[in-house]
Amino acid sequence: MIVNVRVIPGASRDLVKPESGILKVYVTKPAQDGRANARVIELLAKHLGIKKYEICIIKGEKSRNKAVQIPDVAKR
């Protein structure tokens, strides 16, 4: 399943917030050297209850708007 994610780096706290068809992910890490992307994957894994290796950023590696591939939860 592909999920659209909007990332807000440099936030005051880490938070995953569902909003109108997308997930907003607030991360305290800066958008440098992939640190924010790594934290996004960690937060999404914890929020969705899946392993980090099951999540893959397929579009928007250097953008705030990302498309993230996750396993279909209904098949589990």
pLDDT digits (tens, 9 = 90+) for 40-60: 999 999 999 999 999 999 999
Residue listed under structure tokens 């953008």:
63
- pLDDT category at 68 given cuts 50, 70, 90 is very high
Name the DSSP class of 20.
Answer: T
Distance of CA 26 to the CA centre of its chain: 9
8 Å CB contact between 7 and 40: yes
User: Is 90 exceeded by the pLDDT of residue 7?
Assistant: yes
User: What domains can you pick out in the chain, each with its CATH number?
Assistant: 2-75 (3.30.1200.10)
